[in-house]
Structure 1
Amino acid sequence: MLLISKSAGSATGGRSIAEGLIWNFRGRMKPGKWQVTAFLLVTFMLYDVSGAFIGINIGTDVSNLPSAADVAAIIKAHQVTHVRLYDADQNMLNALAGSGIQVMVGVTNEEVLGIGESPSVAAAWVNKNVAAYVPQTNITAIAVGSEVLTSIPNAAPILVRAMNYLHNALVSSNLNFQVKVSSPQSMDIIPRPFPPSTATFNSSWNSTMYQFLQFLKNTRSFYMLNAYPYYGYTKGNGIFPIDYALFRPLSPANQIVDPNTLFHYTSMFDSMVDATYYSMDALNFSGIPILVTESGWPWLGGTNEPDATLENAETYNNNLIRRVLNDSGPPSQPTIPINTYIYEMFNEDKRSGPTSEKNWGVFFANGTTVYPLNLGSSSQVTGNSSGVGVFCVAKQKSDSGALQAGLNWACGQGQANCTAIQVGQPCYGPNTLQNHASYAYNDYFHKMQSIGGTCDFGGTATVTNVDPSYGSCIFAGSSSSNTSGGTTPSAFGPTSTIDSGSTSTLELDYPINQMDENGIHLHAVSYNKEEFASADMDDWKVGLFI
């Protein structure tokens, strides 16, 4: 299969996209490409690239940020071996002392200008934020700013100078072999990342990038890359299938192949990494390993962000972890691991921008995971045993008929505990379809998520981190709730059996003000046994509600 690229545009957040069309093609790789690859493999032996790892970014724009000691405890409990800080917070650096965890500290974008203008400022920064903590805290890298070229382009002329000053300060402290200096770059500086073999940096940055890469080469550092297939897919206008972004297998008709190298790309992530390798090669630099400093997927978005879902985030991050820990590189560098930091530890709810921008976190503040996640080198998948902080509620303005069907199913086949929304119980009022459906949906979601249940209900439900509890009505997942997920509840749906001789009816519609003893709403609409028996309830369960 041959993929011919079209020009790609900018993506939200400063990340680029690739677009293309697919045709059938057969051929063989040019011998020269293998020679280049062999040269790169030899060069990489000069760098510390042994053993793939997964790290995590720790942002702090969080309303209820745990203490540094609690953050460190969560990291240790999940056997995370590498963390990235966006600054050099002294509390976090002290909390990580003695843990052996490798720490990347950050120079903020606001600090870049001052450091780039003065060697003494750079030396003071290193003394205060690095030398003062090693060896107790295992600081191994300094990230100078974040996407400086695309976020604060006026600082571009002094970026490499700032990096040089910091490196010189490390040399003076005899820390230059332990601590490497680099600067994370956005995919946006590569305007046409597909096909990877023809990718180049934006020519307006050529002078800066040449100096930047020369510094990395001279100091044996690595190229820090922020790679977000989420943006590549959502801004790609449907050119690439979502399976390509989520590391899912591609059908034979949707194979993504570079027409020049005939390399098959099974994921957009690999394609982005290779596009960066080829962009460096276009400036005659090779042998500089890539470290992915940010990659992830948001688990909650606004109404215009349909791909920011819990299911997609869980799929992406778990597949990303598997991909990285298989210890292989992209097609052009198959033996060079793609060490990666997941973005990010907590939801940064104080960030500006769309809903998705605030919901990339994989942990809640209490240390539970947002969704089952396989972290570190262990094969164990860490589940959200309590589900605290995430709720499944009915969407506003949903069709009442669809809501009714979802409520009936949740309290029936879905086995949600609907006792609390019966007359006289704490969640009965307000006596609205919206309120009752939200409670039932959420109870089902928390009890069934660990065995495959999701928050959909025919498109009438959505996941939120806003606690819907009120008064004495406590929703599962609330910090005030004793409810834990992951177990199969007792059925509160219909318990009577319909036999072939019965002429009884099942009453499964919305109540005026009544429920039966099993928690099923009663209404004048009823279904006789023949109608109920002919209803394809299994299709409802599989196709709509789970």
Structure 2
Amino acid sequence: MERGFRLILAASLMLMLLDLCRGSTIGVCYGRNADDLPTPDKAAQLVQQHNIKYVRIYDSNIQVFKAFANTGIELMIGIPNSDLLPFAQFQSNADSWLKNNILPYYPSTKITYITVGAEATEVNSTSLVVPAMQNVFTALRKAGLHKKIKVSTTHSLGVLSRSFPPSAGAFNSSFASFLKPLLIFLAENKSPFMVDIYPYYAFRDSPNNVSLDYALFESSSEVIDPNTGLLYTNMFDAQIDALYFALAALNFRTIKIMVTETGWPSKGSPKETAATPDNAQTYNTNLIRHVINDTGTPAKPGEELDVYIFSLFNENRKPGLDSERNWGLFYPDKTSVYNLDFSGRGSVDVITGANITNTNGTTWCIASSNASDRVLQSALDWACGPGNVDCSPIQPSQPCYEPDTLVSHASYAFNSFYQQNGASDVACSFGGLGVRVDKNPSYDKCLYMTTGSNKTLSTNATAIPTTSHSLAGKVHTSKSSWTFMISFLLFLAIDSIRGW
């Protein structure tokens, strides 16, 4: 009876956690319109090095598929506009493409989305998109993959006839014959409405109406939507909400929005004065923080939003102004164009030396020495897994491996989780295994993090700012710490059940 009750409780908690612990995702677009880029395997290594979990490519390149095989990285792949006609004309073309280009590499290459065409309203190919999408979906259904791989298409913001104020957002009526069947398809198949959003262009093309700070998520003032009273502090949110209102106006309230491109160029033509490394760093850093915190938008507070940053590399063959070739986070030699906090958590201060006294209220979280090895091991496994803690410093030959004890390793992991989640009481509970202390546990070269740059420590040692290079997708830090504790307790419950 007791065992059955625990199983039911565990199942109930699991269902609740599936709903609560889903988080927004951040990915990167891997465009290859250049003649000086590293090979796909080198690009995949770079992506893995920075813990990027979501990548968008614009075709179904076999070499890219092979490079990302068995990495766990989720790929959004594309069917270019130039290939829409054969896909729209005959089902057999979609079937053959899936059989020859996708199935040989799936699921070792983790494909989760297929974009059929890109910004079709900009290139007058709208009549082909939905028929091609339907044929691709049918091919997936025949293969039993229609629930695992979602089909959609991407749009520019030009699909709207009006975007301000956000509550007046409306689709361009000239696209009605294209949009109606498209939205029906998306709603029926629970696929997202994909859009490319660039506040950079809004500022560049209308600097008298859009402030730079508003475009960069840096505005100290608010723009009021007169129809709803909602307050907007950045253009990104305003553009997202304009789309949500446009969808609602057509009674498609269940369709989620996914941002398949956004970013900021680091260099531009002489008249593109806002295209600088500083502005690119500011925009993307603020964007990442805004997204992974599940901030949502004024009209959709807390709404999850999946976003892809454009792009992985600068692409020297793209036509147009200089900015078109300078959207990359990395140069082709794989060095960073500018420093970017991929985690969105801000800088973390750590210090060298031991026996350092805390003078400003900073606290750390360590493992209780009274905990049993079995429970402590379970807690450590959870922190390094679902808890999203980087546990590489406690691996063999790394600075925090010695002393090789459960208490020492768990203390490092507990503190990392504690600091990443606001240094709250709940974040250090670990079911009673965590203990808050006001003395820095750092020793030798093993450095325990603190929360944010506002946590400075009094020390004669050198302060070393560090950041986590994680662009992980389903980021859990966006949820309140009690959700983590429920997840942890569920982990313990399942571990106990497994041990019966």
Q: TM-score, normalised by structure 1?
A: 0.59
Within 5 Å, give how 1:172-251 maps onto structure 2: 172-251=142-221
Cα deviation 1:422-454 (Å, max 9, x = unaligned): xxxxxxxxxxxxxxxxxxxxxxxxxxxxxxxxx
Q: 1:202 to 1:146 in 2, by over 3 A?
A: same
Letter in 2 for 1:163: M
Match of 2:6 in 1: none
Structure 2 counterparts to residues 499-514 of structure 1, below 5 A: none
Match of 1:292 in 2: 259
| 1:137-536 superposed matches below 5 A | 137-150=109-122, 152-153=123-124, 155-251=125-221, 255-376=222-343
C-alpha contact 2:24 2:294 (8 A) present in aligned 1: yes
Q: Distance in 2 between matches of 1:49 and 1:163?
A: 31
Secondary structure of the equivalent of 2:112?
A: strand
Q: Does 1:70 align with 2:42?
A: yes
Spell out the pairing of 1:31-180 with structure 2 (5 A cutoff): 50-150=22-122, 152-153=123-124, 155-180=125-150
Q: Supply the distance in 2 between the matched residues of 1:189 and 1:111 (Cα, whole angstroms).
A: 22
| Equivalent residues of 2:68, 2:109 under 8 A apart | yes
CA contact (8 A) 2:289 2:345 kept: no
8 Å CA contact retained: 1:273, 1:330: yes
Q: Measure, in 2, the Cα distance between the counterparts of 1:281 and 1:294.
A: 23
Which secondary structure state, in structure 1, belongs to the residue aligned with residue 118 of structure 2? Answer: coil
1:185 match: secondary structure = strand
- Superposed CA deviations along residues 269-303 of structure 1, whole A, max 9, x for unmatched, are 01111111111111111111111000000110111
Secondary structure of the residue aligned to 2:141 is helix
- Partner Cα separation in structure 1 for residue 18 and residue 149 of structure 2: 16
2:280 counterpart letter in structure 1? A
Whether the 8 Å contact between 2:84 and 2:117 is mirrored in structure 1 is: yes
Q: Distance in 2 between matches of 1:267 and 1:224?
A: 20
Taking the aligned partners of 1:288 and 1:128, their CA distance within structure 2 comes to: 31
**Whole-Å Cα distance in 2 between the matches of residues 133 and 339 of structure 1?**
25
CA distance 1:376–1:172, shift in 2 (3 Å): farther
The structure-2 alpha-carbon separation of the partners of 1:367 and 1:237, relative to structure 1 and needing over 3 Å to count, comes to: closer
Distance 1:355 1:318 in 2: 22
In 2, Cα distance between equivalents of 1:278 and 1:217: 16
User: What letter is aligned with 1:159?
Assistant: V
CA separation of 1:263 and 1:93: change in aligned 2, threshold 3 A = same
Aligned-partner residue type, residue 214 of structure 2: Y
Residue 236 (structure 1) shift: 1.7
CA contact (8 A) 1:300 1:359 kept: yes
Are 1:53 and 1:377, in contact at CA under 8 Å, matched by a contact in 2?
A: no
Q: 1:97 to 1:128 in 2, by over 3 A?
A: same
Distance in 2, matches of 1:82 and 1:182, equals 17
Structure 1 unaligned blocks of 5 or more: 1-44, 382-486, 488-546
Q: Which has the higher contact order (CA 8 A, sep 6+)?
A: 2
* CA distance, structure 2, for counterparts of residue 214 and residue 380 of structure 1: 44
Q: Distance in 2 between matches of 1:330 and 1:353?
A: 32
Percent sequence identity is 39
> Which structure is larger by alpha-carbon Rg, 1 or 2?
1
Say if 1:85 and 1:106, in contact at 8 Å, map to a contact too: yes
Q: Describe the shift of the 1:378–1:322 C-alpha distance in structure 2 as closer, same or farther (beyond 3 A).
A: closer
Q: Deviation at 1:237?
A: 3.8
Q: CA deviation at 1:379?
A: 5.5
- Taking structure 1 as reference, are residues 47 and 195 closer, same or farther at Cα in structure 2, changes over 3 Å only? farther
Distance in 1, Cα, partners of 2:181 & 2:213: 37
1:48 shift after superposition: 11
Superposition deviation, residue 87 in structure 1: 0.6
CA-to-aligned-CA distance 1:311-357 (integer Å, 9 cap, x gap): 11111111111111111321111122121000001111101101111
C-alpha deviation, 1:49, in angstroms: 9.8
CA apart distance, 1:125: 1.6
Amino acid at match of 2:152: S
Is the CA contact 1:81–1:376 (under 8 Å) kept in the aligned structure 2? no
Higher alpha-carbon deviation: 326-335 or 78-87: 326-335
Shift of 1:360: 0.4
Question: Counterpart of 1:184 in 2: which secondary structure?
Answer: strand
Q: In structure 2, what is the Cα distance between the partners aligned to 1:350 and 1:84?
A: 19
Instruction: Tell me if the contact between 1:49 and 1:336 (Cα under 8 Å) persists in the aligned partners.
Output: no
- Aligned-pair distance for 1:128? 2.4
Opposite residue 208 of structure 2, the aligned amino acid is G
Change (3 A) 1:195 1:222: same
Distance in 2 between residues matched to 1:339 and 1:132, nearest whole Å: 28
Give 1:380 shift: 6.2
> Aligned equivalents of 1:340 and 1:49: distance in 2?
18
SS in 2 for 1:315: helix
Query: Unpaired runs of 5+ in structure 2?
Result: 1-16, 349-463, 465-500
**CA pair 141-377 structure 1, distance change in 2 beyond 3 A:** farther
1:493 corresponds in structure 2 to: none
Q: Secondary structure at the match of 1:160?
A: helix
Cα deviation, 1:499-539, whole Å, max 9, x if unaligned, reads xxxxxxxxxxxxxxxxxxxxxxxxxxxxxxxxxxxxxxxxx
After superposition, the Cα gap between the structure-2 partners of 1:60 and 1:321, relative to the gap in structure 1 and judged at 3 Å, is same
- Amino acid across the alignment from 1:365: P
The CA RMSD over aligned residues, in Å, is 2.0
Query: Cα–Cα, structure 1 residues 118 and 49, in superposed 2: closer, same or farther, change >3 Å?
Result: farther
Per-residue deviation, 1:376 = 4.8
CA gap of 1:48–1:95, structure 2 versus 1, over 3 A, is farther
Q: TM-score, normalised by structure 2?
A: 0.64
Aligned mates of 1:83, 1:168 — CA distance in 2 = 24
* Distance in 2 between residues matched to 1:125 and 1:104, nearest whole Å: 16
